[in-house]
Every structure is written in C-alpha cells, then in structure tokens.
Amino acid sequence: MKRCIALALFLLCLLQAPSALAYYTVAFTDEVNYWPGFNNNRWDPYLRDWQDNLDVIGSPNLTGGNFVYSGHTLTGIELNYESTSRELVPGDWFFDLDQDGSWDYVLHHILCVGYDGRVNWDGGYALFSVDLAYLGYTDDSWMDDYRASFWPWGYEGRFDHPVQALVDREDWLESVTFSGWEQYLGWNETGTSTWSDFALDLSGYSGTFTYAFAMTCGNDVLFGESTIPAPEPSTFILFGLGGLGVVCYTRRKRRSL
C-alpha cells in the first residue's frame, strides 16, 4: 500500500512539473521617447514642442504589455495601447539576445504596407533571423537596414525613426499569428494586440535581453531590457519530490527482494 502511495505521488509530481514550466509572463512598459541615438531634433508644429520631448505624438499610446514564455522559449507578446484606428499600422519587434548592439531576430510585418495604411490584418507577421546594428549610427546610413517612419495622409508621426527591418527572404524562420488590432478606439479606450504561435528559444541565454518596437508612424516606440525567466522554486520542488519518490520506491523494492 505504501509503495503504491509513493508511486502515485511520484507520478503526480511528474505530471505537475511540466505544467509549472508551461507558462510565464514578464511585463514590459513604455519608458522611452525614442530609441537611443535616434533623436530627430524636429519641432512639432501641431503639439508645439520638440518631438524628442514627446513620448506620444497623436495616437496610439503604447502603455506596455507582456512577453509570454513556455519554459525558456518566448512564444507570444501582448501589447496594450490606448486610442487607435485601423489606418495606424504596427511595425516590427526587434530582439538583441546577447546584447552586443545588434538585433538577432525580428518579428517583421511581411505584408506590403502602403502609405495609405491599407493592409490585410489576418496574420501578416513572420520571424526572421537578422544581424542589424542599432547603436553607433552617426548619419542616415541606418536607412540601409531599416524602413523609416511613415504615416497616412491626415495623421502625424515621429520623423526619421526606424520602424521596420529590411529583411531577406532567406532569413525567414516561421510564420507568426497576429491578432487584436482594433478598428477604432476612442480617447482613453484601451485594447490589446497579440503575436503568437512562434518559438524563440532563449535557453542558451541568461540575465536580460534588449527589445524594441515601433508603430510604422513612429508616433510611439518601445525600447528596453527584459529579464529571461528562470523556473520558479515550485518547479524545482516538484522535480525534487519526484526524484525522492523514485529513491524511496527503489529502496523499498530492493528490501523486498
């Protein structure tokens, strides 16, 4: 009877341990007005201020969100925002995993985005492997690697800011599901968009990585560092209990022989 109980506890620990590893979220916020080194020194005639002083120019207002993990694999992103419309197009996500000053991966908006903002909103993203510097530019040579900010007629954005990577087809890794962009959100109304169904393995990295995002109009951008999650203590406890169950069960079996 005791042997059965020990075996049952062991199996329960093994069943619960994967679920403990299955899902993590790490929050991020909007802490910058522009990416480091990409200030434009432009006067905004509508807001009557220097654009470098403004976190948000028009709409939407990116307020933060979550990186979603399965173990050490990044599998999704949730982005929260206020007030938007269908004509305002989200740009690319950028990731520097080893923090060497160059982007390693990009979630790239693969659809042809016109200056009128007309796109197909079903899907539209893919994961690409890249090697794009984002530090050290002293002139407009960054435009050889990025698409600069743009916006449809009647809207306003941030001038001369990277918003999309110029990628090569052969660097395509996998398709990414994108959903949730709102048709229209009024002032102070909130929405959430998601990028999912991809797998970016961070198991070979530790500590933090650098990330960035921009609307194609550049009106609001994200740039920061995020912590790579480690398994929670409860996960180690479950594995430990499972291992202890194996030891106890083995010892009892040997004694009975």
| Angle 117-187-195 from CA coordinates, rounded to 5° | 50
Residue 248 vs residue 135, higher pLDDT: 135
Distance CA 70, CA 64 (A): 20
Residue 236 has pLDDT above 70, yes or no: no
pLDDT digits (tens, 9 = 90+) for 140-149: 899 999 999 9
Compute the mean pLDDT over every residue in the chain, rounded to the nearest whole number: 81
At residue 112 the predicted structure's pLDDT band, cuts being 50, 70 and 90, is: low
Give residue 9's pLDDT.
44
| pLDDT of 102 higher than 70 | yes
All structural domains of the chain with their residue ranges: 24-231
Confidence of residue 229 (pLDDT cuts 50, 70, 90): confident
| Confidence bin at 257 (pLDDT 50/70/90) | low
Tokens of 224: 């920061």
Contact 14, 36 (CB under 8 A): no
Which residues are within 8 A (CB) of 59 and not within 5 positions of it... i.e. 6 or more apart?
Answer: 82, 83, 84, 85, 88, 219
Cα 65 to Cα 55: distance, rounded to the nearest angstrom: 17
Residue 237 has pLDDT above 60, yes or no: no
Q: Quick check: 186 pLDDT over 50?
A: yes
| Selected residue with higher pLDDT from 86 and 46 | 46
What residues have CB less than 8 Å from 24, skipping those under 6 apart? 68, 69, 70, 71, 229
Backbone angles phi and psi of 73, in degrees to 5: -105, 125
Who has greater pLDDT, 180 or 107?
Answer: 107
Residue 130 has pLDDT above 80, yes or no: yes
